[in-house]
Amino acid sequence: MGRKSKNKQAAPPSLDEFQGKKPVYEVGSKRKRGNTAGTDSKKSKKPVEDFEEELASDEEKEGSEKEVTEAKKSLFDDSEDEMSAAEGDEFYDSDNGDQARFSDDSDDEEALSAANMEAMSMRLDEELEDEEDDAEAELMETNIAQPRANNVLPSAEEEEERNHLAPDVTIIRTRILEIVKVLEDFKNLGEEGRSRSDYTVQLIKDICDYYGYNPYLAEKLFNLFSPSEAIEFFEANEIARPVTIRTNTLKTRRRDLVQALINRGVNLQPIGTWTKVGLQIFDSQVPIGATPEYLAGHYILQAASSFLPVMALAPQEGERVLDMASAPGGKTTHIAALMKNTGCIFANDFSKPRTKSLIANIHRLGCKNTIVCNYDAREFPKVIGGFDRILLDAPCAGTGVISKDPLVKMNRTEKDFIQLPHLQKQLLLSAIDSIDANSKTGGYVVYSTCSVTVEENEMVVDYALRKRPNVKLVETGLEIGKEGFTSYRGKQFNPKLKLTRRYYPHTYNVDGFYVAKFKKVAPSIHDISKAGSKEKEDRARAEEEEEKSLINDDFASFDADQDKEMIEKTKKRQLKKKGINVHAKGAKAAIKKSGSPKEELTKEE
Ligand SMILES: C[S@@+](CC[C@H](N)C(=O)[O-])C[C@H]1O[C@@H](n2cnc3c(N)ncnc32)[C@H](O)[C@@H]1O
């Protein structure tokens, strides 16, 4: 059961209603509009830039013409070149634009335009402040005499009885909120004879039932937060993030793009003061993925959080930069823009199909300093080294982009959180070894993921710091973001991990993300290593064995005896797809002999 099934039943109270607060944002409400991407929802908004004011006054003249209040417009053409990771393969990136849709806005809602956005935004902030004051007062009152929460947890008989019935999501929702309340004040509210873990176990079970997660992932994500923050996180994963675009400064200026899009009936606003190129789209009369400006490469549909790793990388003109896992190129093209098409970018990706969308984006956005390559990035620096800066936007479990790909909720298992971190660690070491420690302008590696788990983030970074003492963590230079963990569930990390940055959907209304920035301070023996991915794999296995961490044996090895049958079947299927008769004379031998048997067959036939 997932949360969607609940919609037909009576609406249960929200967490904020339950706690005496009003929600910070709601789908399709004015509140959501006021909640600019990348702006901490609890803080007041700063004024938008001057040019928006100019545009606003222009727009005022034609205000009524530009009212764009039609409900639910599907804004995007399924543009192939910004292929979503979910479509392509198991890896995630946060720029899955085609998932973004607008929700219905109520008819009586005042249309937001460049002319009134400032006023509306201020009004919303004022309302929010009032609501927060009321909520605080209410909470104070409630705190005076909180009764013990009896019968929050179901008795054994109730459980048994319920096993035969369809789950009632209203009951589950209410219980989730009650348990959160108890856990936040266990001493006073906990029922006698019940432990904290009794409540936690029931809460995680309810989270699985209500939001549709598998128990393993629900617990992993729950453990990242306090109980109430965890529910905010799960709630935020049910809501689409704002639709955002990045101005391609190789082709236009943001103010010109704003004017062009307003003329086409697009309601938009700068994302926040932390980016000079981002725009949030509220509503549009035209498909955002098919405007002439889009086709001319003046912008790219890109999640706001995807700007952050590139901003942290801060590439300079004339540098040599490697984007290790670059498809479909949202970040590569941003790097090219910051470098003003000078220097040289190596845009690498291991997936050949994904390099098609990478190449398409590079062409559309007019990047002229970029070379596309198709290596397993663990092969670096054997392929080429000596870079000034490297971005490793690593393949990850995608736990930061669940609102775009809800399948993550059920599909991610324990195995993923062993295999992916293992790959991420190897890739990060390769990145470090491929940097020129004597670079005059750089010497930096940025590691990022669109996942929020500690295994894929702090643990990977901590591992790299231990294995490569010739690097140190430095400030990311990013204005927003929470500090990385320096300890987690009894595990201590390098204290400098606090320099890394975490992003969550419920705090910044952006996709969940993680960013760490390293500076290489000295060369090391590994820099000249000619080891390829295979040797590195073996070495990493040996090292992890030593450290007694577990790596599943089936990771990266497909030639075990029990796999033989499967390998042959796959080969046959590939041959059939290519139109080759698998029953032809000699086909069997060719299948056995070769990984790419086409040539063999042609010869034999
Ligand atoms: C998070 S996505 C990258 C998104 C990209 N940076 C962007 O902004 O558009 C991760 C990418 O890693 C690639 N990948 C996975 N394993 C790899 C490896 N061993 N070497 C290089 N790339 C790899 C996947 O094909 C995928 O495109």
Q: Model confidence over 27-62: pLDDT tens digits?
A: 233 333 333 444 443 333 333 344 444 444 433 333
Range name among 296-310, 422-436, 462-476, 581-595 with the lowest pLDDT average: 581-595
Predicted pLDDT at 18: 43
Q: Calculate how far, in angstroms, residue 518's C-alpha sits from the geometric centre of ligand 1.
A: 20
* Helix 117-144 × helix 50-61 angle, to 10°: 110
393 CB under 6 A from ligand 1?
A: yes
Catalytic one of 208, 367, 396, 450: 450
pLDDT(437) > 70: yes
Predicted pLDDT at 143: 47
Q: Got the DSSP string for 453-474?
A: -TTTTHHHHHHHHHH-TTEEEE
Q: Calculate how far, in angstroms, residue 351's C-alpha sits from the geometric centre of ligand 1.
A: 7
Q: Calculate how far, in angstroms, residue 87's C-alpha sits from the geometric centre of ligand 1.
A: 14
pLDDT tier at 166, thresholds 50, 70, 90: confident
Specify the CATH class of 305-546 in words. alpha beta
Nearest residue (CA) to ligand 1, atom 5: 326
Residue 258, H or E segment: helix 254-263
422 CB under 6 A from ligand 1?
A: no
Predicted pLDDT at 545: 73
Range name among 8-17, 272-281, 315-324 with the lowest pLDDT average: 8-17
Nearest residue (CA) to ligand 1, atom 17: 350
Q: Calculate how far, in angstroms, residue 346's C-alpha sits from the geometric centre of ligand 1.
A: 13
CB 338, CB 315: distance < 8 Å: yes
The strand pairing partners of 513, in sequence order, are 503
Q: What is the dihedral of CA 249, 251, 257, 261, to 10 degrees?
A: -130
- 397: annotated binding-site residue? no
Q: Got the DSSP string for 383-399?
A: S---BSEEEEE-----T
Predicted pLDDT at 63: 37
Domain boundaries, the chain: 3-47+113-235, 305-546, 561-604
536 CB under 6 A from ligand 1?
A: no
Ligand 1: which of 89, 90, 91 to mutate, judged by most atoms within 8 Å of the beta carbon? 91
Number of helices followed by number of strands (H, E) in the chain = 24, 15
Q: Which atom of ligand 1 is nearest to the CA of 377?
A: 20
Ligand 1: which of 83, 93, 374 to mutate, judged by most atoms within 8 Å of the beta carbon? 93
pLDDT(152) > 80: yes
What is the rounded CA–CA span in Å between residue 355 and residue 540?
Answer: 28
Predicted pLDDT at 537: 78
Which amino acid is present at 341? N
Nearest residue (CA) to ligand 1, atom 1: 93
- 327: annotated binding-site residue? yes
327 CB under 6 A from ligand 1?
A: yes
Q: Calculate how far, in angstroms, residue 78's C-alpha sits from the geometric centre of ligand 1.
A: 21
Range name among 60-64, 227-231, 314-318, 499-503 with the lowest pLDDT average: 60-64
pLDDT tier at 561, thresholds 50, 70, 90: low
- 330: annotated binding-site residue? yes
Between 96 and 180, where is the model more confident?
A: 180
Chain mean pLDDT for the chain: 78
- 328: annotated binding-site residue? yes
Instruction: For 91-113, give one letter per residue: b (16+ CB within 10 A) or e.
Output: bbbbbbbbbbebeebeeeeebbb
Predicted pLDDT at 160: 73
- 329: annotated binding-site residue? yes
pLDDT tier at 393, thresholds 50, 70, 90: very high
Range name among 235-239, 420-424, 483-487, 577-581 with the lowest pLDDT average: 577-581
Residue 373: active-site member: no
pLDDT tier at 8, thresholds 50, 70, 90: very low
Contacts of 565 (CB under 8 A, 6+ apart): none
Range name among 78-87, 197-206, 227-236 with the lowest pLDDT average: 78-87
Q: Calculate how far, in angstroms, residue 356's C-alpha sits from the geometric centre of ligand 1.
A: 13
Structure tokens belonging to residue 152: 């929050």
Predicted pLDDT at 583: 63
Residue count of the chain, please give it. 605
Q: Which atom of ligand 1 is nearest to the CA of 89?
A: 25
93 CB under 6 A from ligand 1?
A: yes
Which amino acid is present at 590? A
Q: Got the DSSP string for 176-226?
A: HHHHHHHHHTHHHHSPTT--HHHHHHHHHHHHHHHH---HHHHHHHHTTS-
Q: Which atom of ligand 1 is nearest to the CA of 395?
A: 10
Contacts of 495 (CB under 8 A, 6+ apart): 486
Pairing of strands 299-301, 243-247: antiparallel
CB atoms within 10 A of CB 163: 8
329 CB under 6 A from ligand 1?
A: yes
Separation of CA 207 from chain center: 21
Largest CA distance in the chain: 87
The strand pairing partners of 214, in sequence order, are none
Would the CA dihedral through 315, 320, 324, 327 be positive or negative? Answer: positive
User: Which of 403, 366, 378, 153 lies closest to 250, judged by CA?
Assistant: 366
Q: Calculate how far, in angstroms, residue 348's C-alpha sits from the geometric centre of ligand 1.
A: 8
Predicted pLDDT at 351: 98
Ligand 1: which of 92, 94, 326, 416 to mutate, judged by most atoms within 8 Å of the beta carbon? 326
Predicted pLDDT at 36: 41
User: Which of 475, 457, 465, 463 lies closest to 513, judged by CA?
Assistant: 457
Predicted pLDDT at 70: 36
Contacts of 282 (CB under 8 A, 6+ apart): 33, 102, 112, 267, 268, 269
378 CB under 6 A from ligand 1?
A: yes
CB 500, CB 483: distance < 8 Å: yes
Structure tokens belonging to residue 118: 């400032």
What is the rounded CA–CA span in Å between residue 490 and residue 408?
Answer: 27
Pairing of strands 344-348, 370-373: parallel
Q: Model confidence over 109-145: pLDDT tens digits?
A: 445 555 555 666 667 767 777 776 776 666 555 444 4
Predicted pLDDT at 159: 75
CB 587, CB 601: distance < 8 Å: yes
Residue located via tokens 């596309």: 372
333 CB under 6 A from ligand 1?
A: no
Q: Model confidence over 492-533: pLDDT tens digits?
A: 999 999 999 999 999 999 999 999 999 999 999 999 877 887
Q: Calculate how far, in angstroms, residue 279's C-alpha sits from the geometric centre of ligand 1.
A: 25
Which amino acid is present at 312? A
Nearest residue (CA) to ligand 1, atom 2: 93
395 CB under 6 A from ligand 1?
A: yes
328 CB under 6 A from ligand 1?
A: yes
Predicted pLDDT at 533: 79
DSSP 24: S
Predicted pLDDT at 202: 95
pLDDT(77) > 50: no
Q: Where are the extended beta strands (E) located within 2-138?
A: none
293 CB under 6 A from ligand 1?
A: no
* Helix 458-467 × helix 416-433 angle, to 10°: 40
What is the rounded CA–CA span in Å between residue 14 and residue 239?
Answer: 14
